[in-house]
């Protein structure tokens, strides 16, 4: 029987339940001429990946995309299987026995390192750890951050760096109106940070943050946003690019940065300082972070025409009590799955996983999202990316390149129950979701997140007892 027929439905396993996973599920389920069954796995009991654990709590509109994912999950041929860890509860070989195709959508879970001396001193942290911590991710719930000092330096000037700076600056009453983790709200309410410096290795014309993120800071009347007027004197290369290569987003950012440089210090209690054309050299301190040494950069044009930064002889030390590195997320390898340590991605051709030993695509294995292309783009970028990968899968189905015979779904149910006795369904998640909203409402907040897996599982066990 051909794969995708009514008697032999195409069985697809999706590893990871973030945006790329849901968009992949949506596209494969939309194939009118194929009978499809999708099983989505996540090591946490909660779905949605970085939409839940990576979007800043004061940006609730961005999180509303989960309503789309709810509709995808409502498809009768979709199964969410949370609290199931790939490589532990279910392994690579198991998936190949039970599914015709596997799509890896695990994102990028770790931070890129700076690779400078004393990077591991207490007070030096990855931005993703801080973001996960304030978003109540179980992976970072037990971390601690010392906010008793007044100065923070964030290395990197993308949107994550802006989120880190903004969350540190927000007053407690504004934080309390969000879904920030309860533990983080308590810690940040006693926050003594008064200055956050954001470092960019290139100039303002190459800033990675968006106009919207910058405008959000600029419009606040309780925070000073400081830009050195000297930094707005663009180097010849940047000036040439801005004149010859129009870019609306970049030009909006530059215009607003110029306005901020002219506005200067308004005497507010808290401030965010932008520094451009500087790179970290080493963390300063003996027992903990006391500062960060930076070097002044100059720009030059590389062989591919891109503007790059190179160090000069001009060094300085910026005092700091905490340093956050926000220079990008990084993928991690999966057991049994090819991995390129240079790009920190799964090697692939338009989504088809490539075996590095043979250079050929591996039958029935695909990748989508950040683990496929690297950590770039916004949530919506994952939709066309996932669709491309699914199109490769569908082409392989129609060309009969997939394995025809896999073990039946009923056998898989028994197998999974033996491996992991507490698999979380999407209905279970919706119950947890309702509990979070209910408990948040009691405190006048939009939700109070479960921050520990054991508490989630306890709540589900108690529900089972009540249901009898």
407-461 pLDDT tens trace:
999 999 999 999 999 999 999 999 999 999 999 999 999 999 999 999 999 999 9
262-273 pLDDT tens trace:
998 999 999 999
* Percent of the chain topping pLDDT 90: 95
Averaged pLDDT, 359-364 = 96
> Which among 43, 59, 154 is positioned nearest to 107, based on CA atoms?
43
**DSSP symbols for 88-157:** TTB-HHHHHHH-SEEEE-----EEPP---TTTTSTTEEEHHHHHHHHTT-TTTTT------SSEEEEE--
Local structure of 411: helix, strand or coil: helix
Integer-rounded Cα Rg, in Å, for the chain is 24
pLDDT at 133 over 90: yes
Q: Facing residues of 294 across strands?
A: 280, 316
Instruction: Please report the pLDDT score of residue 118 as a whole number.
Output: 96
- Would you place residue 166 in the very low, low, confident or very high pLDDT band (cuts 50, 70, 90)? very high
Instruction: Please report the pLDDT score of residue 285 as a whole number.
Output: 97
Tokens matching residue 84: 């199931």
Contact yes or no for 381/65 (Cβ under 8 A): no
Averaged pLDDT, 126-147 = 96
Name the strand (E) or helix (H) holding 166.
helix 159-169
Contact yes or no for 428/82 (Cβ under 8 A): yes
Averaged pLDDT, 35-51 = 97
Tokens matching residue 438: 């209910």
How many angstroms separate the CA atoms of 338 and 346, rounded? 6
432: Cα within 13 Å, side-chain hemisphere: 24
Beta strands in 190-232 (DSSP E): 195-199, 223-227
Average pLDDT of the chain is: 96
Instruction: Please report the pLDDT score of residue 468 as a whole number.
Output: 55
Give residues with Cβ within 8 angstroms of 115, minimum separation 6.
none
Instruction: Please report the pLDDT score of residue 61 as a whole number.
Output: 94
Averaged pLDDT, 350-377 = 96
> Which among 268, 184, 182, 260 is positioned nearest to 227, based on CA atoms?
260
pLDDT at 89 over 90: yes
- What's the pTM? 0.95
Neighbours of 437 (CB within 10 A): 14
1-28 pLDDT tens trace:
899 999 999 999 999 999 999 999 999 9
Give residues with Cβ within 8 angstroms of 220, minimum separation 6.
none
Instruction: Please report the pLDDT score of residue 465 as a whole number.
Output: 74
Instruction: Please report the pLDDT score of residue 109 as a whole number.
Output: 86
303-352 pLDDT tens trace:
888 999 999 999 999 999 999 999 999 999 999 999 999 999 999 999 99
Instruction: Please report the pLDDT score of residue 355 as a whole number.
Output: 96
Name the strand (E) or helix (H) holding 291.
strand 291-301
* Percent of the chain topping pLDDT 70: 100
- Would you place residue 219 in the very low, low, confident or very high pLDDT band (cuts 50, 70, 90)? very high
How many angstroms separate the CA atoms of 227 and 115, rounded? 27
Instruction: Please report the pLDDT score of residue 233 as a whole number.
Output: 96
Residues in the chain: 468
How many angstroms separate the CA atoms of 55 and 53, rounded? 6
pLDDT at 151 over 60: yes
Averaged pLDDT, 27-32 = 97
Buried b (16+ CB within 10 A) or exposed e, 32-71: eebebbbbbbbbbbbbbbbbbbbbbbbbeeebeebeebee
> Which among 131, 76, 105, 128 is positioned nearest to 17, based on CA atoms?
105
* Domains of the chain by start residue, with CATH: 10-109+331-424 (3.40.50.720), 112-328 (3.50.50.60)
């Amino acid at each position: 029987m051909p794969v995708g027929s009514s008697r032999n439905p195409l069985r697809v396993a999706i590893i990871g339940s973030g945006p790329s996973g849901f968009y992949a599920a949506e596209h494969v389920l939309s194939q009118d001429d194929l009978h499809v069954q999708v099983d989505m796995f996540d090591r946490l009991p909660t779905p949605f990946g970085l939409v839940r654990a990576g979007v800043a709590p004061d940006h609730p509109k961005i999180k509303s995309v989960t309503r789309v994912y709810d509709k995808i999950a409502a498809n009768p041929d979709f199964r969410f299987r949370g609290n199931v860890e790939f490589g532990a509860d279910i392994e690579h070989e198991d998936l190949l026995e039970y599914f015709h195709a596997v799509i890896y959508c695990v994102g990028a879970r770790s931070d890129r390192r700076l690779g400078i001396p004393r990077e591991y001193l207490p007070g030096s942290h990855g931005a993703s750890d801080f973001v996960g911590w304030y978003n109540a991710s179980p992976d970072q719930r037990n971390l601690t951050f010392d906010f008793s000092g007044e100065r923070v330096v964030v290395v990197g000037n993308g949107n994550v760096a802006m989120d880190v700076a903004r969350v540190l600056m927000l007053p407690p009453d504004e934080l309390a109106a969000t879904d920030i983790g309860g533990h983080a709200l308590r810690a940040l309410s006693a926050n003594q940070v008064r200055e956050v410096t954001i470092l960019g290795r290139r100039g303002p014309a190459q800033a990675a943050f968006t106009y919207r993120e910058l405008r959000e800071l600029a419009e606040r009347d309780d925070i000073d946003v400081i830009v050195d007027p000297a930094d707005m004197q663009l180097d010849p290369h940047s000036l040439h690019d801005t004149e010859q290569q129009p870019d609306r987003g970049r030009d909006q950012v530059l215009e607003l940065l110029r306005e901020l440089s002219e506005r200067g210090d308004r005497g507010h209690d808290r401030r965010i300082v932008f520094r451009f054309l500087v790179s970290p050299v080493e963390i300063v301190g003996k027992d903990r972070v006391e500062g960060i040494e930076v070097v002044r950069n100059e720009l030059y044009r590389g062989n591919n025409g891109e503007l790059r930064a190179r160090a000069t002889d001009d060094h300085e030390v910026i005092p700091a009590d905490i340093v956050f590195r926000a220079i990008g997320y990084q993928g991690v390898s999966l057991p049994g799955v090819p991995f390129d340590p240079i790009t920190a991605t799964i090697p692939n051709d338009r989504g088809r996983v490539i075996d590095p030993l043979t250079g050929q695509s591996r039958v029935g294995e695909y990748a989508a999202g950040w683990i496929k292309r690297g950590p770039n783009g916004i949530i919506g970028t994952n939709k066309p990316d996932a669709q491309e990968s699914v199109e490769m899968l569908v082409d392989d189905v129609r060309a009969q390149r997939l394995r025809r015979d896999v073990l039946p779904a009923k056998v898989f149910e028994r197998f999974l129950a033996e491996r992991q006795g507490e698999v979380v369904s999407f209905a279970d998640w919706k119950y947890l979701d309702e509990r979070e909203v209910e408990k948040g409402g009691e405190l006048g907040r939009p939700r109070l997140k479960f921050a520990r897996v054991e508490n989630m599982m306890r709540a589900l066990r108690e529900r089972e007892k009540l249901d009898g």
